Amino acid sequence: MKAADVLFLVCVTAVAALFVAAALSHTETAAAPPAVPAAPGATGRSRDLDLERVREMIERGDLSGREAEFYREAPAGPQNETASPPE
């Protein structure tokens, strides 16, 4: 081997050793990311869904079986009983 080849191999080995050492030291000192706070007003409760009622509404034509492409806010007036979940 020529001297340039040996020098190249020594440099590559040294850089690889430094990379491994830096990677190992980083995993030991890495902290967990901070937790994301919950949205204001979120209570964390799941909603009960009456699947049979939803199927009946789809069959009557009150609901579509497809997911909405565009969402909009519901009107502020009184809610239709068939569209609102039971309390």
Residue 54: exposure state from Cβ atoms within 10 A (0-12, 13-18, ≥19): middle
Distances (CA, A) of 87 to 40, 46, 48, 81, 84: 22, 13, 10, 11, 9
- Domain boundaries in the chain? 1-30
Which among 9-18, 42-51, 57-66 has the top mean pLDDT? Answer: 9-18
* pTM exceeds 0.85, yes or no: no
User: pLDDT tens for residues 14-36?
Assistant: 999 999 998 888 765 556 667 77
CA dihedral (35, 41, 44, 46) positive or negative: negative
pLDDT of residue 37: 73
